[in-house]
Structure 1
Amino acid sequence: MDQFLNPFDHFTIPFGHWAENFIALMVSGSRDTLVAAKLPVQAFLEAIRDLLLSVPPSIGILVVTAAGYLLGGARLAALGFFCLVGIGLLELWDAAMTTLAIALAAVAICVVIGLPLGILTARSETFHRLMRPILDLMQATPSFVYLVPVVMLFGIGDVPGVIVTCLFAVAPMIRLTNLGIRQVRADLVEAARAFGASDLRVLYGIQLPIARPTILAGLNQTVLMSLSMAVVASMISVAGLGRVVLEGIGRLDFGRATIGGLGIVLTAILVDRYVQALGAARPRLARGSA
């Protein structure tokens, strides 16, 4: 009777054991490939991090403030100034620059991977049907779950942090690139082809410019998800603001954890507003020149 009421006491699927064996098989069979795959990511991350950390805070604040004024006027410039000054006053400048470097490296890789995949998804129904369940799974999977296979394959540290951030944040870039291109009016595409434009010319001359706002919205989501994952990745020894929060919680030093959290908020607000302004800058400049 008990077996009938609860059959799962006797019949289970050892999926965890299968997954562990699969990851162990991949690690043992492709160790050299995995190490080689980390090298370009490591070089790219170190270049960005060294650049950001080499800039004195005062110069960095001036550059960001000037960029904010050019992109969005005095209001954005003031926002950038107060966010960076706040980060500096909290003694989080180096940690914030490290987190920003990890996020920027991940975003650049996501764009390189996500933009072509989004274009291919928009232009091929077969590929779209293949990618849709994969993207659904990627966006439905909790961020902590990504840490397990990445740690087993690539170990711990900043480079695995960039890799896991890319896996977590690339889906919006693919989805919104696909959506933006699909929303381009069909009559515009047909008119261009009627005048002899090639598929490549239609893509770069019509579809991508018209889809630009949607693609930039995907970029904005990718940036914010990269920042959030860069914080979660502190659990695998990734440096930056996430480590400040994790150390504060681990030591029950809630003041330290609160300061780290505030630094994350300031960094996220700064990056979000500047990416949005970057998306609006070109139309505004075009109207001004007209």
Structure 2
Amino acid sequence: MDPHLLRTFTAVARLRSFSAAAAELGYTQSAVSQQVAALEADLGVRLLQRRPVAPTEAGERLLAYAGPILLRLATARADVARLGTPRPGPLRVGATPLAAPSAAALAAAQPARGLVLRVGPRADLVQQVGSDELDVGLLDGFVTPSDPLPVVEAGLIATAPHDEQPAVVALPRSHPLAGRSGLSLADLAVARWIDAPDVAAPLPQLRAAAGADGFRPAVRYDGTDAAGLLAAVAAGHGLAVLPAGPVRGHPGLVGVDLVTPRLMHRIEAVRPAEPAGDRRVRPAGA
């Protein structure tokens, strides 16, 4: 399977448009159509409906494989290039919004390099480390104490614990439940919630953790600014599950412990891994 054809197919499927994929990839629309047709001929199955553009059942199945395949290829290319040409310059760190304050500790370990910090959503971070856009990523998430933080499989990518603290329900100080010592997540299923998937614990995850329906959003927060979300909770627009530190440090908020289930906010450092064996670069033919 030609990875160039696979990349073109994924772009068309994601954008739902041959012309938009052509503009993104720098091809003509005719070339994009020919590449998708070539991949379909290779696999012997129709991958995309044309009008409207949408993946077929076979196309959806291929998309489940395509992301990890393309990510591993990008990681392999970046890792080999890194061996031959060590990158000078500042430490390039990517961080999810709640992990960004931890970037200073990484920079302090290498003060001579300086720091370039990029803050963005969770979905892109592992891919950017794998493709050598970043030297290290700080990825955060909400998990039970015994569960690992889910990380996309990308080949030679290593993760290491960086920080962990309890997750709490963020409430305005005037909220009727603000005086409680602990709360059950299931008891909050019908509360007003702020849907902030790039900052707070995602509502589908809370629904699954509580084993209860509900957790419907009263407000959608599409930003990546944690301070803005804290202000929205303090103003009474809805609840959110967040790490204890920033909530309890906010003058307008109370952070009440989750007792059932107990959730932790975990930050892990994501870096290129060292493969087994000798990584010294040898001349060609040696």
**Which fold has the larger relative contact order, with Cα–Cα distance below 8 Å and residues 6 or more apart in sequence?**
1
Question: TM-score normalized by structure 2?
Answer: 0.26
More helix, by proportion: 1
More strand, by proportion: 2
Question: TM-score normalized by structure 1?
Answer: 0.26
